[in-house]
Structures are given as structure tokens and as C-alpha cells.
Structure 1
Amino acid sequence: MTVTLEHPTAATATVGDLMTRPELQISDDVMVDTAMDILRSSGADHALVRDEEGRCAGLLTRLHLAPFQARSWYTERTPVRDIVHDRAPFATADMPATVAAAAMRSRGLDAWPVVDHDGHVIGLLNLRAPSGPPRTGC
């Protein structure tokens, strides 16, 4: 008996099938100016934010940090948890990819954290492939 593993079709794909490992994570107690430096030096457009218990607290993008580019005493003393960034709800691995894509489009997200049942990050769903065009099925 031969068992063949097939890639899920666009209609049956789940978030777990399409998610990637998160590349950059920061703690929510990191100061805004440090978060800007981390994103700039890494070349990343976003970073996952974790709370003190290691659970996902949101997704921080360069756009969220744009108002703080002038740097002041405020950016040196304000933790990321106190500024506006994308927060819950998050995707789950068993969520249908088409549902996740619709939710991301309606919220204007290019990336969405994927969490387990305890709220810990297990992946990141990107609406666009690294080269730019949208992924099929998502």
C-alpha cells in the first residue's frame, strides 16, 4: 500500500499549511526607540510583540512607529505595549486560509500572527509572498 501526501488545495488549505516561522520577536516592555532600532537594523517591516508571559501581544510595523521618528524623551521612556499596534484577535492554525485572508484584507493586514490555544505564537501568516504577489489560496 502506497500513501501519497498531497499539498492542500486552495479550497482546503488551513493557516497552519501556509504560515511561516516568525523571524523577529520583541518583548512588549521594549522602549519605542529600541524597537525602531531593531526594525531598522534587521531590515524587517514588522516584529511580533510578546507579553511578559510569552503570549502574543500583537504585531508592530514600521508604520506604527512612524509617528515616533522624531525621537524624544517620550520614545526613550515609552514601552511598545503603550503605543498603538495590531492586537488580537489572531489567527489559529486550524482556521481555513480563505477565512484568514478575508479577515486580513478587511483589517488591512499584510501579516497576521498565528497562535496556539494558549496564545503563544506558533507562526506568521503573510498575505503576500516575499516577492510581492499575493499567495494563491490565501
Structure 2
Amino acid sequence: MFMLTIKVLHIAAVVFWYAGLLYLPRLFVYHTEAEDDISRQRFCLMESRLYWRIMLPSMVVTLICGLLLLPNYQGGWIGIKLLLVLLLVLYHIYCGVVVRRFVIGGTPHSGRFFRIFNEIPPLVLLVVVWLVVVKPF
């Protein structure tokens, strides 16, 4: 029962984390294209709250629960999944860097960059779900 509870927490935390990973770069697009200070300040507030209050706690719970579940899985697929999770953690950290750059008044990249940047998490999710369900090796 304990491990099933951990699995439920892991899946829920992944959903919350992913909501932020998908939405925050879209906010970056809007922020980059904002033309007035009031809008830019509003985006800074929204981005900071999303990152610190939702994404970071969700990522921490995801990683802790995932580590607790890790002994239950074997095979080469888990190594690839862990590499993809590491990629997502690095993506998450970079999102935090961007949030900070916006707060101090910079525009780190173009809207086009952030539109492309926003495509990374869905692609990673597709591969991770395939690995978990199919367990190809």
C-alpha cells in the first residue's frame, strides 16, 4: 500500500510539474512581446509564482517519489528515462534562470526562441511515457 501511495504522489507531482513546464515558456513568449511596464511586471509576478510555488515543489516531490520507486524497476529503459529526467531538471533550472533575468529587467531571448524552447517538454514526455509503458529493453 505504501508503494502505491508513493506511485500516486509521483504521478500527481509529475502532472503538476509538467503543467508548469508547459505553461512557463508560453508566459516567456508573452513577456518578451509585452510592450508596457505594467504587463512586464505582471508577467514577472506570474512567472515567479509559477516557478517557486508550483514547479519547484512539484519537481522535488517528483524526484523524491521517483527515487523511492526506483528499486522496483529494472532494464535499460530506466537508464534512458533517468537521463531524460535529468534533461528536464536542467530545463527546469534554466527556466529559473530566465525568470531571474526577467526580474532584473532583461529579455534573455526572442519570442521565437521561447516558442521553440516550449516544444522540448512535450517531446520528452512522449518518449518517457513510451519507455514506461512499453519497456522496450
Q: Same-fold call, TM > 0.5?
A: no
Instruction: Give the structure with the larger helix fraction.
Output: 2
Instruction: Give the structure with the larger strand fraction.
Output: 1
